[in-house]
Structure 1
Amino acid sequence: MIREITANQSSFQSVAFTKGFNVVLADRKKEETKKHSRNGLGKSTLIEIIHFCLGANADEDVFPKEHLPGWEFSLELAVGSRPVTVTRGVENPANFLVSGVPSNWPIQPTVRKGVEAFTAKEWTLLLGHFLFGLPYDTDGNSLRGPSFRSLISYFIRRRTDAYSIPFESFRKQIASDVQINNAFLLGLAWEDASEFLKIKDRSKDLESIKTAIKAGVLDGFGGKLGDLETRQVRLKDLVTKRQAELESFKVHPHYEQIQTDANRLTGEIHSLVDANLVDRKMLELYGQNVSAEQPPPVDFLDRIYQEVGIFLPTTVFRRIEEVRHFHETIISNRHAFLANEVERIKNALSKREVQSQEKTEERAALMDILKTHGALEEYTKLQQRHLETVSELNAVTLMIKNHRAFESGMSEVRIAQERLHQKARWDLDERRTIRERAISLFNEYSQHLHSAPGNLVVDVGPNGFRFDVEIERSGSGGVGHMKIFCYDLMLARLWAEQSVSPRVLIHDSDIFNGVDERQCARALELAAQESQAHGFQYICTLNSDMIPEKELSSDFDLSQFIRLRLTDDDVKGSLLGVRF
Structure 2
Amino acid sequence: MRLIRLSSNMNSFHTIEFKDGLNLIIGKQANPDDKSLDKTYNGVGKSLLIYILHFCLGSNKIAPFEEKIPGWEFTLEFSIDGELYTSVRNTTNQSKIFLNGEKLTLAKFRSIMLEKVFGVTEKINNLTFNTLFPRFIRRDRESYVTYDAFIKNEQEYSKVLNNSFLLGLETEFVTEKQRLRTLFRQTKELKTNIEEDPIIREHFNNNEDTEIEILDLEDNIERLKNELTEFKIAANYKDIEKEADEKHYQLKELENKRTLINNSIKHINKSLEIKPDLSEKKVINLYNQAQIEVPEMVVKKMEEAINFQKNLLKNRNKRLASEKIKNHDKLKETEELIEVVGKELDKALRYLNTHGALEDYNALNKKLNDMQTKLERLNEYQEILRTYKKKLKDVQSDFNTQNNETDNYIENIQDLLEDIMTTFRDLSKTFYEKKPGGIKVINNDGDNTIRFDIIAKIQDDSSDGVNEVKIFCFDMTILLLKQNHKFEFLFHDSRLFGNMDPRQRYSLLKLAYEKVNSEGLQYIATINEDIILSFKDLMTEEEYKNIIEDSTRLVLTDESDKSKLLGIQVDMDYNK
Fold shared, TM-score > 0.5 on shorter chain: yes
Confirm or deny that 1:461 pairs with 2:463. Answer: no
Using the size of structure 2 for normalisation, the TM-score is: 0.81
* Paired AA for residue 96 in structure 1: I
SS at match of 2:69: coil
Instruction: Number of aligned residue pairs: give it.
Output: 554
| Shift in Å, 1:42 | 1.6
Would the alpha carbon gap of residues 168 and 214 (structure 1) be closer, same or farther in structure 2, given more than 3 Å must change? farther
Any conservation in 2 of the 1:185–1:491 contact (CA below 8 Å)?
Answer: yes
8 Å CA contact 1:246, 1:382 repeated in 2: yes
Q: Secondary structure at the match of 1:539?
A: strand
Q: How does 1:76-475 map to 2 (within 5 A)?
A: 76-77=78-79, 79-99=80-100, 116-135=102-121, 137-138=122-123, 144=125, 146-209=127-190, 212=193, 216=197, 218-219=199-200, 227-242=209-224, 254-280=236-262, 340=322, 343-375=325-357, 378=360, 381-382=363-364, 384-450=366-432, 451-459=434-442, 460-462=444-446, 463=448, 464-465=450-451, 466-475=453-462
Q: Which whole-Å CA distance do the structure 2 matches of 1:131 and 1:248 have between them? A: 81
Residues 276-310 of structure 1: per-residue CA shift (max 9 Å, x gap): 3454566677778878979999x999xxxxxx9x9
- The alignment partner of 2:93 has SS state of coil
Change in CA separation of 1:46 and 1:289 when aligned onto 2, cut-off 3 Å: same
Q: CA deviation at 1:393?
A: 3.8
CA contact (8 A) 1:53 1:73 kept: yes
Shift of 1:74: 2.5
What 5-or-longer segments of structure 2 have no aligned partner? 284-288, 571-576
Indicate how the Cα distance of structure 1 residues 295 and 218 shifts in structure 2: closer, same or farther if over 3 A, else same.
Answer: closer
Q: Name the counterpart of 2:27.
A: 26
Deviation at 1:490, TM superposition (A): 1.2
Q: Does residue 39 of structure 1 match 2:21?
A: no
Q: For residues 91 and 13 of structure 1, what CA distance do their matches in structure 2 show?
A: 20
Distance 2:87 2:107 in 1: 14
Contact kept? 1:262, 1:367, Cα under 8 Å = yes
> 1:28–1:215: structure 2 CA closer, same or farther, 3 Å change rule?
farther
CA–CA separation in structure 1 for the residues paired with 2:484 and 2:302: 162
Q: Which structure carries more relative contact order (alpha carbon 8 Å, separation 6+)?
A: 2
The corresponding residue for 2:574 is none
Matched, 1:481 2:464: no
RMSD over aligned Cα, in angstroms?
4.0
How far the C-alpha of 1:536 sits from its partner, in A, is: 2.4
Offset, 1:507: 0.9
* Preserved contact between residue 504 and residue 537 of structure 1 (Cα < 8 Å): yes
Tell me: CA distance 1:168–1:321, structure 2 relative to 1, closer, same or farther (3 Å). same
One-letter code of the match for 1:273? E
Q: Secondary structure at the match of 1:525?
A: helix
**TM superposition shift of 1:218:** 5.0
Deviation at 1:217, TM superposition (A): 5.2
Aligned partners of 1:200, 1:163: CA distance in 2, in Å?
A: 30
Could you tell which deviates more after superposition, 445-454 or 391-400?
391-400
User: Partners of 2:33 and 2:189 in 1: how far apart?
Assistant: 62
Gaps of 5+ in 1: 100-114, 302-307
Q: Percent identity over the alignment? A: 24
> CA shift at 1:421, angstroms?
2.0
Query: What SS is found at the alignment partner of 1:165?
Result: coil
Residue 577 of structure 1: which of 564, 567, 573 is its match?
A: 567
Of 528-537 and 393-402, the range deviating more from structure 2: 393-402
Given that residues 25 and 562 in structure 1 are in contact (C-alpha distance below 8 angstroms), is that contact kept between their aligned partners in structure 2?
Answer: yes
SS at match of 1:448: helix
Q: Residue 22 of structure 2 aligns to which amino acid in structure 1?
A: F
Cα distance, 1:189 vs structure 2: 1.8
Amino acid at match of 2:506: A
Q: 2:24, 2:526 within 8 Å by CA — same for their partners in 1?
A: yes
Take 1:541 and 1:177, find their aligned partners in 2: how far apart are those partners?
28
Residue 56 (structure 2) aligns with: 53
TM-score by length of 1: 0.81
CA deviation profile, 1:499-544 (whole Å, cap 9, x unmatched)? 8521221111121221222222222222222222333221111111
Q: Are the equivalent residues in 2 in contact too, given 1:49–1:73 (CA < 8 A)?
A: no
For residues 476 and 220 of structure 1, the distance between their equivalents in structure 2, rounded to whole angstroms, comes to 58
- Which AA in structure 1 matches 2:176? E
* Aligned residue type for 2:4: E
Q: 1:484 to 1:221 in 2, by over 3 A?
A: farther
